[in-house]
Structure 1
Amino acid sequence: MFDTGVGHPLVYARRMLGWSQEGLAARIRAAGIRRGTPVATTKKTVYWWERGRKPDELTQALIADVFEISDELREQLPWPYWLPSPQVPELYRPWTAAGTVDALGDVLRSGRMDRREFTILSGVTLTTLLHGFLTAEPAIAHAAAGGGRRISPAMVDHIADQITDLQRADDTHGGGDLVFEAEGLLSLTHHLLQTGSFPAERVKRRLYAQAADLGRMCGWMHFDIGRHAAGQRHFVAALKSASSSEDALLAANVLAFMSIQAYSTGHPDDADAMVRTAQTAVRGRSTPVVDAMLSARQARALAKAGETRDCYQALNRAVAHLERGPRDDDPPWAYWVNQAEIDMLTGSCMLDLGDAAAAQRKFTEADASYGPEYVRTHVLYLTRMATAQLQQRQVDAACASTGQALTLAAGVHSGRSSDHVRDAVKQLIPYRGEPAVHDLLDRAKTVTT
């Protein structure tokens, strides 16, 4: 059964197309006639499906016809998860430990399938998700108990070490290849949560936290290689896992990464809502580093929305938080939040808001203090530096920055980085008459084609 506070996927599917229950039933009957297999589907039949009753295989095939779902897609997912909207079945899982385990299973069963018609969480669907997160009952991790073999703290330590290695490797190499390893580790974590027993509640909560970290990482890696639908599903499952771990800071980090996807796909207001929800969740129990990260992410969303004044206020808050310094209780995943990162994000905001000269200064300051291991980050910000330079008619400098990005991108499996490099190269095409630009365009043909 589905959480009736959210609704069955079939409800979303037919409402998306403006169909009533009787309207859907009529279309299914018509599809049956076309196939030569008449059915007696009624409004009441649809009603019971939306309460959890499962249609037989013949009727599912007719429903797929009505919604124009391919046989290939229907074979990859069980009923009702192949229905067209909202593409995130994890939303229907309750905010309980058992619901979290089911949500992780939903994501893992979907594999690397990525729908072409990606739809960002927005409106009522997003509000429902954020409200569910904020109002979930505490201590829900205690409710799930496996009856299998005992999971030792040493096993959890082993997973923690692999997570750390994956995070560092992603900084350097991008997520294109590492996503397979991350998904394998998430599958192991899900298996332990589903079947294991635990010597202490803290061990169980820690494993839920690791599922959240891995789900967030898988979401980020899918987003990084352009698999937006798969990325979003992992983010939702990660948020439920973080809630079950009772770690508000970890949940805030998941929401912050979700916000990047939201504003990057043209939904800055939704990104702002995600960050505001995270800030509410951590109020009174955060650390300056986490607060700085959230303020900077909020600034990026506000810059994308063209809210100049609010953006700069958020950036000022980020700097003020960071100046309070690190603390012993800073979460380990926040290792990358430093002055260079804030400067890079500030430069990106300035570029979005039309101040190319100020953006270039910030990019220059940040680049001087960023470590060489952050290869993907260097690629992204070199391309933004090139844009800022070109907007100031510094063609040679823009060409040099783009060339550096092109060199670094060759060692990173990141669709996002490749897209940025491709865009940086394209913006130089009007200047192809200059020798440096001509040579770069010739070198970059494999990237731009």
Structure 2
Amino acid sequence: MSGRSVGHPLVQARLLRRLSQEKLAALIRAAGKRRGINVATTKKTVSAWESGREPDKVTRELIAEVFEVDAEACAALPWPLWLPAPDLSELHHPWTAAGTVAVLADVLRSGRMDRRRFVVLTGITLTTLLHRWLTTEPDIAHAVVGDGRRVSPGMVDRIDARIAGLQRDDDTHGGGDLIFEGEAYLSLVTRLLGHGACTDRQRARLHGQAADLSRMCGWMAYDNGHHAAAQRYFAAALRAAHASGDVLLGANVLAFAAAQTYSVGNPADADAMVRTAQSAVRGRSTPVVDAMLCARRARALAKAGDARGCYRALNRATDLLGKGRRDDDPPWAYWVEQAEIDMLTGSSLLDLGRPAEAQKWFRAADAAYGPQYVRTHTLYLSRIATAQLQQHDLDAACDSAIQALDLLGDINSARSTDQVRDLAKQLAPHRDTPPVRDFLDRARTLVSA
């Protein structure tokens, strides 16, 4: 998703009040008129603010009036952190085992219904979440005492096995349908945490499973284009990882949350997530986990236009991965391979305006993964097509785009469909060219381009 940052607090405040940019501009002009101030705010002005430009002091006062924010709140916080934000239970419950169970239950109740396409954790709300994860002591010793039947070791083992299967199924086919299974298992684990009689070791394992499952549900929600729901799942996963006492698991949650965040136009928040994770795991990590975090940070820096920082992080990721795997690598890190680093390198180069080099890295990554990873193959083909289009090779771009289009029927991934749809929009000005016309005709049916 390109354009303005969908995570900017003004976007959130506006959409929470169901205001278009044009309607907000009109309300600001009306507020100025009531004060005898002539302001020329337009839809274009609002768009500029949402892209990072700061309004002047008088206009900020008018914006505060429109959103009914009192002067004391405006004085206490810098722009735009005083704007209204979603009221999320995951920000208010205590960082205890009981609080974690309450957040998991609440997110399960509301997550599937929260289909907003903008993120809900940014600015001060995100900073608060990261700070609490980093500084609060885990509460395992004061875990909730279950009032139900004893949880059997076999049950916990079976959940572990299904989590591993879900991870690999998502790698292959996308999360459009799998999210329902992920939510069902997360609901089971949440119930066991809230009502089952467990040993301390079992409870720690269940919290870790809740973190894995909530992280997967967040990734699947993101794959479906539901950004608010995704972030709520990620926040719940971070709490569950914290309650498990596994700091590396929390870092993994933040790495996936960062990928969503930079993808929707908020690279600064994504960078903050990864740097927080790196601080937390320092001295307790493995080279593979550190490589993953460096690669995620490289993507955020590329999205922010920091080429030097990006290349430095990518080189560091490659060096760390070259140290090889260790027996104490976490199981979830199975996917951190050179092909993943190659893919992230290609994506970074594409963002930094180097499409020819990006294409080489994409092809190397795609060859390593193989066509059985259908969603990954579709995403690579879409990015290869974008790189080819940026090099003005219409025939090659159309060929790659058609291959990606043909694969959409085998997966359920809104993210993949959106990338093919974006290709159709980029190719539309060249519809007089026969290959482009053929692709657009086919795309019109499948992705409503």
Same-fold call, TM cutoff 0.5: yes
Q: Would you say the 8 A contact 1:426–1:448 is kept in 2?
A: no
Find out whether 1:306 has 2:305 as its counterpart: yes
Aligned counterpart, 2:155: 155
Q: Where does structure 2 lack aligned partners over 5 or more consecutive residues?
A: 1-11, 18-65, 69-83
Q: Would you say the 8 A contact 1:386–1:401 is kept in 2?
A: yes
Aligned CA distance change for structure 1 residues 117 and 396 (closer, same or farther; 3 Å): closer
Q: Would you say the 8 A contact 1:156–1:207 is kept in 2?
A: yes
How big is the shift at 1:117? 6.9
Aligned CA distance change for structure 1 residues 67 and 423 (closer, same or farther; 3 Å): same
- What SS is found at the alignment partner of 1:176? coil
Aligned counterpart, 2:375: 376
How big is the shift at 1:432? 2.1
Aligned counterpart, 2:286: 287
- What SS is found at the alignment partner of 1:93? coil
Task: With the length of structure 2 as denominator, give the TM-score of the two structures.
Answer: 0.79
- Counterpart of 1:225, as a letter, is N
Aligned counterpart, 2:121: 121
How big is the shift at 1:96? 0.9
How big is the shift at 1:425? 2.1
Distance across 1 between alignment mates of 2:180 and 2:394: 40
Distance across 1 between alignment mates of 2:374 and 2:141: 37
Find out whether 1:386 has 2:385 as its counterpart: yes
How big is the shift at 1:86? 2.2
Aligned counterpart, 2:435: 436
Aligned counterpart, 2:108: 108
* Two-structure CA RMSD over aligned residues (Å): 2.0
How big is the shift at 1:397? 1.0
Distance across 1 between alignment mates of 2:144 and 2:136: 15
Q: Would you say the 8 A contact 1:87–1:229 is kept in 2?
A: no
Q: Would you say the 8 A contact 2:96–2:138 is kept in 1?
A: no
Output aligned runs, 1:290-439, within 5 Å.
Answer: 290-439=289-438
Q: Would you say the 8 A contact 1:141–1:204 is kept in 2?
A: no
Give per-residue Cα distances to partners, 1:167-206, cap 9 Å, x unaligned: 11111221111111110110000000000111x3221101
How big is the shift at 1:265? 1.6
- Counterpart of 1:155, as a letter, is M
Q: Would you say the 8 A contact 1:93–1:99 is kept in 2?
A: yes
Distance across 2 between alignment mates of 1:412 and 1:328: 34
Find out whether 1:89 has 2:89 as its counterpart: yes
Aligned CA distance change for structure 1 residues 361 and 141 (closer, same or farther; 3 Å): farther
Aligned counterpart, 1:175: 175
Task: With the length of structure 1 as denominator, give the TM-score of the two structures.
Answer: 0.79
Q: Would you say the 8 A contact 2:321–2:338 is kept in 1?
A: yes
- Counterpart of 2:148, as a letter, is G
How big is the shift at 1:119? 3.9
Aligned CA distance change for structure 1 residues 418 and 117 (closer, same or farther; 3 Å): closer
Distance across 2 between alignment mates of 1:205 and 1:250: 12
How big is the shift at 1:253? 0.6
How big is the shift at 1:87? 4.4
- Counterpart of 2:179, as a letter, is V
How big is the shift at 1:433? 2.4
- Counterpart of 1:128, as a letter, is T
How big is the shift at 1:373? 2.9
Q: Would you say the 8 A contact 1:255–1:274 is kept in 2?
A: yes
Q: Would you say the 8 A contact 2:262–2:269 is kept in 1?
A: yes
Find out whether 1:197 has 2:197 as its counterpart: yes
How many aligned residue pairs are there? 372
Find out whether 1:135 has 2:135 as its counterpart: yes
Aligned CA distance change for structure 1 residues 118 and 439 (closer, same or farther; 3 Å): closer
Distance across 1 between alignment mates of 2:119 and 2:300: 18
Distance across 1 between alignment mates of 2:151 and 2:189: 11
Output aligned runs, 1:204-219, within 5 Å.
Answer: 204-219=203-218
The one of the two structures with greater contact order (alpha-carbon pairs below 8 A, sep at least 6) is 2
Distance across 2 between alignment mates of 1:338 and 1:159: 25
Find out whether 1:166 has 2:166 as its counterpart: yes
Distance across 1 between alignment mates of 2:442 and 2:261: 33
Distance across 1 between alignment mates of 2:172 and 2:135: 37
Give per-residue Cα distances to partners, 1:359-403, cap 9 Å, x unaligned: 011112111111333211111121111111111111111111101
- Counterpart of 2:227, as a letter, is H
Aligned counterpart, 1:99: 99
Aligned CA distance change for structure 1 residues 123 and 338 (closer, same or farther; 3 Å): same
Output aligned runs, 1:26-45, within 5 Å.
Answer: none
